[in-house]
Structure formats: C-alpha cells, structure tokens
Structure 1
Amino acid sequence: MSLVVYLAALVFGMSSVLLFRHPRTAVRNPLTLSTCVAIVLGALVFVCAAPATLSAVNELTGVPNFGAPLTYGMLSAYSCAVLVLLINWRGGPRERVRRMVLRSVAAYGALVVAIVVLFTLADADTERLRDLDTYYANTPYMREMILLYLVGHSAAMLVMCAVCLKWGREVTGLLRTGLRLIMLGALLDVLGFQLAKYTAVVARWSGHDLDFLSTTLAPPMASLGALLSSAGFVLPRLLPSVLAHWRGLGDYRRLAPLWSLVKSASTAPRPPTAWWQSPQARLQWREVSIHDALLALAPYFDHRLRERVRDTALSAGRSPHEARLAAEAAMLADAARRAAAREEPPETPGTYRLHATEVSGTSGLVELAQALGRPPAATAPGGTGSPSLTGPMTEPEEPHVA
C-alpha cells in the first residue's frame, strides 16, 4: 500500500520538476509558481497518507494518530493551492486576483487551524493507520474534524469543476483539453474518493460497516483523480514546448545532408558543445552556419547549370517550385565541389537569391536539404531519373529541342 502511494507521489511531483526547470523565471511567474506549489502539495498529501509515513510520524512525535491532522491539514492546503492556481490561471485585474487569493488562503488557513484544534480536543489514543475515518466516525471532536476536512476538500473540487466547465466553453485547443482533464480528475475525486468516504462515515453513524469504501476504494480513486488533474494543469504549459523541441530536433536532422555538403565553407564559430543544449539551440547554430556557408559559396554558383536543370525538371513534369528547388540543389552541389577543389568561380555573375534565403525560419533550408537527396528530374511518365545530387556531379546535357 505504502509503495503504491509513494510511486503516485513521485509521478505527481515530477511534473512540478518539469515546470520548475528555470527557477528564477518560475519564481517571478505567479502561474508557474502556483502550479508547482499545488502539485508539490498534492505529492506531499500522498506521502503523508501512506501507512508507513503515518506510523513513522506517530512514533517520532509520540502522539497516536498525529499523522491524521498532518495529512488532513496538507490536504486542505492542497485544496487551497488548487483554487489559487485556478485564480492565477484565469487571470484578470491584479487587485481582483490578489483579493481572491487572500480570501482563499484565509479560509483554508482557518480550516487547518480548526482541524488541529479539534484533534487536540479529541480522545484518539488508539493508533489507526488505514481506517481512522471510520474507526473514529462517532468519536466527539474527531467526528467533526473528519467531516470538516472532507467538506473543505469537496468545496475546492466542486468549485474547480464549475470553473473548468464554464471556462472550457470559452477556450479551444490545448487549454480546453487541459481543463477537461482537470475536471475529470476533480470528478473522480468527488465521486470516487469523497463519496466513498462520506458513505463509509455515514454508514458508521447508522451502525453499519462499509469501511472497505474508505480503505480500499477511496485511495486509488484519489490517486487517479490527482494524476489526471496534474496532467491537465501541466499539459497546456509543457506540450507546446515539447512539440517545439521535437520539431527542432526533426529539422536539425533533416538539415544533415545540406550541412554535410556545405560545412567546409562555413566560417561561423562553433559554440561549446554540451549534452544539455536544447534542440532549438542546436538547430539555430546549424541554420546560421548553413546561411554563412551559402554566402561563401555564392561566387561559385553556375547559373547556366541552374537554368538547364530547372528546364529539365519542368519538362519531366515537376511543378515550378519543385523545379526551382532541384535546380538550386544542383547548382549548390556543383558550387561546393568547385570550392572544395579550389577551382575558379564560373563566369556567370548574378544577384540570384536561393529560395531558402527568401523565407524565414528553417522551412526553406529543409526543402533544399530534401532536394539534395532527390534526382534533379523525378521520374515521370515517359521520363527517366537522374543520379542523386549528393553523389558525383556531372553537368546535365542541353535539353533536346524537337
């Protein structure tokens, strides 16, 4: 039981580590900070609720069941943190956000104090690690403490459901997906954890025994609900960054043929290589270096060769854009060969600009790199292919005119 709870706490807490990658920036961002605080408190609730932790806390303090107000107080703090997170996430005028945050903190701070006071007044000398809620359901002050923490947590989850449902109608995309995950997690908490706890406690009040709802059903439902809610909070914040990293890594790899061809001509200083460099940083350096190499190879461009390859590609059925890319790839491969062999530049001066230098971002360079791996004229009905541009280059013959 304890191992499963600890694993849930670990998975729950890892998402806050991902969000807190840059501590200085995170501390100054109320949304990131409140997200991390809520997730960390949720993980601490799992840790505190584990029977092994409860036993250790009780033994360390010498107070039977001292782990109960600790866990319930932590759960109330988590409920407050979730509300604060929703307030910061929704945004609005600064004073209004600050006022709502202070009200939430004050309300749940009073709830934590009440839990501690009620536990102090109660007679709970028998240690219960798994069934404290039902065992003490009829004990004065303990009964009120149990009911109070459940009501406080229920209020937070119901407010979260209402806010997510209302806000979800106003937004789209990843934010709506995240809100739906949060609402699903909150509903699992309400219907799986809290309803099971309420039912088991009320059953004790009426003289029945439904303790299995509290000890067996409620904990996994709480874990699943918390994990879904944390995923909903983290997904809209992390997924765009993850996708950007993934696209950057893909473009970095797709530029490899082009970089392999022109890197000897690049004079851009190479930054210190570090394994933790992001794909975007690596991609940016490769992009700058390729543009530097293209500038260095420009004097070696043979524009007559480019025009011949373009005409051949058009006659083979390629679109004008594909023909232009094939011609530029052939011209670039020839220029790289001439520069490596230290040949004299061809006598075809011009101010022609490559397509890759006319568009922003890496899309043009990626298209040029892909064109290097294709024959200058694709095989079309009635046509024939040509050798790859990355292999040995020979100038194409003049197109035959009927």
Structure 2
Amino acid sequence: MSLVVYLAAAVFGLSCTVLFRRPRTAVRDPLTLSTCAAIVLGSLVFVCSAPLTLAVVNEMTGVPNFGAPLTYGMLSAYSCSLLVLLINWRGGPRTRVRRAVWRCVAAYGALIAAVTVLFVCADADTERLTDLDTYYANTPCMREMILLYLLGHSAATVVMCAVCLKWGREVTGWLRTGLRLILTGALLDVLGFQLTKYTAIAARWAGGDLDFLSTTVAPPMASLGALTCSAGFVLPRVLPAALAHWRGLGDYRRLEPLWSLLRFAPTAPKPPASWWQSPGARLQWREVSIHDALLALAPYFDDRVRERAREAALRAGRGARQARLAAEAAMLADAARRAAAQEEPPGPPSTYRLHATEVSGTGELVELAQALAEATADGTGREGTVKAPHG
C-alpha cells in the first residue's frame, strides 16, 4: 500500500514542477505560488499517510501514533491551501484577498493546534498504521481529533464544490474544463474518502464493523480525487501554452519552403542556438527574417510575371484568393532567381506589396509558403527555385 501512496505523491507533485519551471516568475505570481503550495502539501499528505512513513515517524519520535496528528495536520494545511488557491484564483482588490487568506490561515491554524492538543490529551498507546480512525473511534479526545480533521477537510471540499459549480456557469474554454475536473476530484474526495470514513466511524459507534471502508476504499479514492483536482488546477495554466508552442512549431515547419527560397537574402542576425529555445522564439526569428528578405527582394518584383500567373490560375478554376497566392508565389520565385543571379531589377519598378507583409500574424506567410511548395511540386515554380550561394 505504501508503494501506491508514494507513487500517487510523486505523480501529484510532478505537476508542480510544470508550473514552477520559471521560479522567479512563479514566486511573484500569487496564483502560481498558491497552486504549487497546494500541490506540494497534497503530495506531503500522501507521503505522511503511507504506513511505512507512519512507522518510521513513530519509531523516530518514540511516540506511538505520532504520525496521526502529523498526517491530520498536513491534511488540514492542504485543505487550507485549497481555499487560499480559490481566493487567489478569484482575485479582486489586494487588501480583500490578503484579508481572506489570513482568515483562512488563522482558522486552519487553530484547527491544527486543536488536533495536536487533543492527541496529547488522548490515551493512544497502541500503534495503528492503517485503521487508526476506526480503532480509536470511541476513545475520548482521539474521537474528537478524528472528527475535527475530517470536518475541516469536508468544509474545504464543500466550499470548493460550490465555487466550481458557480464559476463553471460563468467561464468557458479550458478554464471551464479545469473547474469540472476540480469538481470531479472534490466529489470523489467527498463521496469516496470522507463519506466512507464517516460511515466506518459511525458503524463503530453503533457497535458494527465497516472498517474496510476506511482502510481499503478511502485511500485509493482520496488519491484519485487529489490527482483529478491537480489536473484541474494545472490544465488551464499549462495546456493553452502547450498548444501555442505546438502551433508555433507547426508554423515554423510550414514556413520552410518560403525560408528555403529566401535564406540567401540579407536578414537579421540569427540568435545563438540553444536547446531550450521555445518554438515561439524560433518562429518569431524566422518570421522577422522572412520579412527582411522580402523587403530586400522587393526591387526585383515583376508585375508581368504576377499577372500571367494569376490569369493562368484563374483559367485553371482557382478562386480569387488562391489565384492571388499562386501569382505572388510565382513573382517571388522569379525575384529570388533574379536576385541570386545578380541580374538587373526589371523595369518599370513594381509598387506591388505582398499581402503577407500588409497583415499581422503568421497565417498569410504560411499560406504563401504553402503556395510556393505547391508550385514547386507541380513544376510551375521550378525555374524560380534557387539555392543559397556558397561563399
């Protein structure tokens, strides 16, 4: 069982490294910091609750069941961190946010202190590593300690469920998906962990024995709920950036036909290569360099080449947009051939501006690159294709 719990803690904590990959930025962002704190505390709860950890802690301190208040205190701190995270997620005036955070910390700090005091006052000399909640369900002070930590955790998860239901109707996109995952994880915790714990304890009070609910059902359900919640916290923060990186990498590759045609032209100096350079940074450099090369080739544009290619595309049944792209690709290939061969610019000088240079974004450049690739594949732009001269 300890191995499963440690694995859940490792997977849970791994999501923190994704958000904390830029420590300087993360420390200045209360939302990122509170998210990481919640994930770390959740991982520590798993580590502390493992039977192997409990046995080691009990042996090191020389106090039977000392791992119990440690675990319950850690779980209460995790519950507090969830509420702090929700407060920072909602945002608002800084003074109001700070005041709400301190109230939450004070309430759960008092709860942790009460758990510790109750444990000190209790008679719990028999070490229990897996069934402490039910074994001591009728023991004075231990009974109150167990109920107190459960009620504190229940309060946090119920508030989280209510907030997720409310916000889920107000937001869209990945944020709504994240809230649904958080709600699912919280419900798994409420129904699979807390309800089973309450039921097993109540059965002990009634003279019955449903300990398996507390020892067998509750731990894996708590792990599943926590992992689902962490996915909900991390997903809206990480996935949009990941998708943007993926799109940037795709556009970078789709610009290759245009870049291959223009790389001989003078461009901005290439920054030093590094393995960690993001696709967005590489795409930005390639886009700037292509614009510089297009500006350098502008004197070689020949309107006659463009008009002939456009009329040929229209006769072939292409639409106006596709015909324009094909005409620009043909004119650009011809200009690159002339410039590479160091020919004189054609006369009279063209005043035509490529559509890709008149609009923002990478989309038009990508379409122009694809038009060049199609012209090369069809053979229509073969004579305009050049290679960088070797010097």
- Interval containing the TM-score (normalised by the shorter chain): over 0.9
The answer to whether the Cα contact below 8 Å between 2:302 and 2:350 also exists between their aligned partners in 1 is no
Match of 2:217 in 1: 217
Q: Aligned in 2, Cα 1:98/1:256: closer, same or farther, shift over 3 Å?
A: same
| Partner SS for 2:149 | helix
**Contact 1:304–1:348 (CA under 8 A) maintained in structure 2:** no
- Please state how far the C-alpha of 1:31 moved relative to its aligned partner: 1.1
Distance (whole Å) between structure 2 residues aligned to residue 206 and residue 388 of structure 1: 87
1:387 paired with 2:384, answer no
The alignment partner of 1:343 has SS state of coil
Does structure 1 conserve the Cα–Cα contact (< 8 Å) formed by 2:15 and 2:39?
A: yes
Contact 1:372/1:388, CA 8 A, preserved across alignment = no
Partners of 1:338 and 1:127 in 2: how far apart?
Answer: 87
Write out per-residue CA displacement over residues 88-112 of structure 1, whole angstroms, 9 at most, x where no aligned residue: 1112232222221111111100000
Which letter does structure 2 place at the counterpart of 1:297? L
Say which SS state the counterpart of residue 212 (structure 1) adopts. helix
The alpha carbon displacement at 1:339 in A equals 2.0
Moved more, 186-195 or 83-92: 83-92
Q: Secondary structure at the match of 2:263?
A: helix
Q: Look up the match of 1:180.
A: 180
Aligned to 2:153: 153
Structure 1 stretches of 5 or more lacking a match? Answer: 377-384, 395-402
The residue correspondences of 1:3-402 to structure 2 (distance < 5 A) are: 3-375=3-375, 386-389=378-381, 391-393=382-384
TM-score normalised by the chain length of structure 2: 0.95
Distance (Å, rounded) in 2 between the aligned partners of 1:60 and 1:302: 84
TM-score by length of 1: 0.93
Structure 2 spans left out of the alignment, 5+ residues: 386-391
**1:186–1:225 Cα contact (<8 Å) kept:** yes
Q: Report how many residues are paired.
A: 385
Aligned-residue sequence identity (percent) comes to 79
> Deviation at 1:212?
0.7
Matching residue's letter, 1:160: M
Partners of 1:115 and 1:145 within 8 A in 2: yes
Partner Cα separation in structure 1 for residue 70 and residue 142 of structure 2: 14
Shift of 1:386: 4.6
1:392/1:272 CA distance change after superposition, 3 Å: same
Cα displacement string for residues 347-388 of structure 1 (whole angstroms, at most 9, x for unaligned residues): 241221101101101111100100011138xxxxxxxx9515
Residues in 1 aligned to 2:378 and 2:90: alpha-carbon distance in whole angstroms: 59
C-alpha separation in 1, matches of 2:26 and 2:144: 39
- Assess if the C-alpha contact under 8 Å between 1:303 and 1:348 holds in 2: no
* Ranges of 4+ aligned residues in structure 1 off by more than 6 Å: none
How far off its partner does 1:266 sit?
3.3
- In 2: Cα distance, 1:35 partner to 1:99 partner: 18
How far apart, CA to CA, are the structure 1 residues paired with 2:128 and 2:75? 18
Deviations 1:313-347 (A, max 9, x none): 11111111111110111111122222222222222
d(CA) in 1 for partners of 2:157 and 2:278?
Answer: 37
CA contact (8 A) 1:266 1:290 kept: no
